[in-house]
A and B are shown apart, each in its own frame.
Chain A
């Protein structure tokens, strides 16, 4: 999932301050799963904002709505009537959702309420960890399903750096050494020979280096 974190209330208050009628728009997919922008977070933030504005002696009308996904037009359309009733949209989606909403509703200011953080997983309750950098050329087959690009601080592709201690990364001891995990996993899979294959320097052209990427599927285009 795309992991995000709700912005601090003070920052949100500041960015919505110019508006009297606000649509607080949640997203029911990734940011719901990471407790940053689903229905519950929309309701709690709306309540907190109303209290905060009242505390300051100001009024704000907040309409609450959560759509299934803010990054797909067919779901975004469900918000059209609510958008028309309000001065601005505070989106609790990831950056893609915010921009898709802005593209769809050109005349209404769209404000981000979430800091989009990374592509990751819920490792255990309360702990989300980054596991994919979206590099555009997946090499997980070779490394037993553990990504050295994302999970090794040095992005090493041909073996460990030698700096890890007791399975922890020397850059950040809170992080497991990705190469320890890779070797343990490949040993369990009896695929340690994978590591005899030299990995050439990574071609980053499939990543962000060339600017925003596009994926075109001729079979889906009409």
Chain B
């Protein structure tokens, strides 16, 4: 771990894409995981994503159902559009849109979730901490 840097990853997920029984603790060696469960990914608002960064996240991951499988019809489409809007904002701010990702997940696929979080963590290790969280200018 470079200079003791342990990235913080905030994971927003709908109840279908990541169930209560999913254990993310095995991934905590590489990153601090902050999991936020919401009934449907459409409830992810711009401000929630931005405040996750304000609260110290180095990256934010949004897990949504595959397209066409949202229980609320188009919740995942709405989430995708909001994420894109916030990605544009992050670029404008200078934090970088690559720190925010959205992934369509098969229901309760723990292996896929682990892969995404590990990949995100390893990408973050190659970068500086998020400047907004640590007051560091890139």
Spell out A's residues near B (CB within 8 Å).
Answer: 8-10, 40, 43-44, 47-48, 50-52, 54-57
Contact = CB atoms under 8 A, between A and B. Distances in A.
Interface in B103-131: 131
B135 interface: yes
Given A40-B46, A48-B93, A52-B94, 16 more contacts: A9-B92, A10-B92, A40-B45, A43-B47, A44-B50, A47-B50, A48-B89, A50-B54, A51-B95, A52-B93, A54-B135, A55-B95, A55-B137, A56-B94, A56-B137, A57-B137
B8 to A, nearest CB: 15
A60 to B, nearest CB: 13
B56 to A, nearest CB: 12
Nearest to B82: A44
A44 B45 contact: yes
A176 B137 CA distance: 50
Nearest to B52: A47
Contact of B132 (A10, A40, A51): A51
Contacts of B89: 9, 48
Contacts of A9: 89, 92-93
Nearest to A54: B132
Which among A40, A44, A57 has the highest number of chain B CB atoms within 10 Å?
A44
A40 B47 contact: yes
A36 B78 CA distance: 18
A56 to B, nearest CB: 7
